[in-house]
């Protein structure tokens, strides 16, 4: 039989055949010998072992369309990075590093600004910062339903991975999109203003025909990926046009004079917060790879 791995915990994998069969499977030992690890989202061939107990064995992993490192999932069409207009507070650098990671892995990315019911002005402010980046921005409230139909449309016909810091509302959004998912939603820590880790593993959910959503454990930090210092600017799409006006073709948009990107920041054409996150990542890479 063929199916998709929809959950993996402690060496046990839940496999769905796309119809009615759902089995709890172990992977054949040959995968461990080869250094291969099944991932949520993998398509596979599997066999039934015990009919009554609903157990099986993963015999073969089918070729992957892609494989994400952070989070570790396979066969994704796009990512939806969630941030909050309420609590926890929005941190531009964290979002920008999520975008950097997804850009490195070649995954088209949407930005979802949730909890707009808590602070509509903050939602609009965040959206304005990313309006010129080329990333689609969706504003919604999973509690009131505002913007959820538009979000569902953006997810239709694709396999989408959800990512974001703990507490931004991934589980609440899944409950709004897929009530039968029965996700556990945690209260925010009153002391820290952060969410408890209500998602402890990656899991895929069926949304509608040809549409799947993967929930992933929340992240509280995300390091700058291993990049060459000259590569970082390429993952800030709004820099492309402005960099044509730089005096130097290898301009890093940092200490160089006559920089088109810095001029665009001063003119308000590029959000200063985006430029500052770029410079922060630049310094992180410099610290790891001194020139």
Query: CA 216 to CA 287: how far, in whole Å?
Result: 30
Cβ pair 167, 84 in contact under 8 A = yes
CA–CA gap between residue 19 and residue 21 (Å, rounded): 6
Task: Give the sign of the dihedral formed by CA 149, CA 154, CA 159, CA 163.
Answer: negative
Calpha distance 3→10 (Å, rounded): 20
Per the model's pLDDT, the better-predicted residue between 148 and 29 turns out to be 148
Whether residue 241 has pLDDT greater than 50: yes
Kindly indicate the confidence band of residue 70, based on its pLDDT and cuts at 50, 70 and 90: low
Q: Are 154 and 136 in contact (CB under 8 A)?
A: yes
- Class of 229-288 in CATH: mainly alpha
Question: Is residue 192 pLDDT above 50, yes or no?
Answer: no
Domain 2-61 is found in CATH 3.50.50.60: no
> pLDDT over 70 for what percent of the chain?
88
Question: In the prediction, which pLDDT does 225 show?
Answer: 73
Which 8-state DSSP code applies to residue 89? P
Work out the number of other CB atoms within 10 angstroms of the CB of residue 113.
26
pLDDT in tens, 36-49: 889 999 999 999 88
pLDDT at 188 over 80: no
Is 78-215 CATH 3.40.50.300?
A: yes
Which one has a higher pLDDT value, 182 or 168?
A: 168
Q: What pLDDT, on a 0 to 100 scale, did the predictor assign at position 290?
A: 53
Using CA atoms, how far apart are residues 125 and 257, in angstroms rounded to an integer?
Answer: 30
Mean pLDDT of the chain: 86
- Tell me the CA end-to-end span of the chain in Å, nearest whole number: 54
Look at 224 and 163; give whichever has higher pLDDT: 163
Sorted by where each begins, the domain ranges of the chain are: 2-61, 78-215, 229-288
């Amino acid at each position: 039989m063929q199916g998709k791995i929809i959950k993996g915990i402690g060496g046990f994998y839940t496999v769905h055949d796309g119809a009615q069969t759902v089995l709890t499977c172990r992977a054949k030992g040959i995968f461990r010998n080869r250094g291969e690890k099944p991932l949520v989202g993998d398509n596979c061939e599997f066999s039934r072992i015990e009919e009554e107990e609903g157990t099986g064995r993963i015999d073969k992993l089918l070729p992957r369309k892609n494989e994400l490192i952070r989070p570790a999932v396979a066969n994704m069409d796009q990512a939806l990075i969630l941030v909050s207009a309420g609590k926890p507070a929005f941190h531009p650098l964290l979002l920008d590093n999520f975008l950097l990671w997804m850009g490195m892995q070649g995954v088209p990315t949407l930005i979802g600004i949730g909890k707009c019911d808590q602070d509509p002005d903050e939602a609009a402010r965040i959206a304005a910062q990313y309006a010129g980046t080329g990333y689609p921005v969706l504003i919604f409230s999973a509690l009131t339903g505002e913007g959820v139909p538009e979000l569902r449309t953006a997810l239709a016909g694709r396999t989408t991975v959800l990512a974001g810091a703990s507490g931004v509302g991934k589980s609440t959004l899944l409950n709004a999109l897929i009530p039968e998912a029965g996700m556990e939603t945690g209260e925010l820590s009153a002391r820290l203003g952060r969410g408890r880790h209500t998602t402890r593993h990656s899991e895929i959910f069926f949304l509608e025909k040809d549409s799947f959503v993967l929930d992933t454990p929340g992240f509280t930090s995300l390091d700058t990926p291993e990049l060459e210092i000259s590569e970082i600017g390429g993952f800030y799409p709004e820099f492309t046009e402005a960099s044509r006006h730089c005096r130097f073709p290898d301009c890093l948009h940092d200490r160089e004079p006559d920089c088109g990107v810095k001029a665009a920041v001063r003119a308000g054409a590029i959000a200063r917060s985006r430029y500052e996150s770029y410079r922060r990542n630049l310094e992180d890479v410099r610290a790891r790879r001194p020139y």
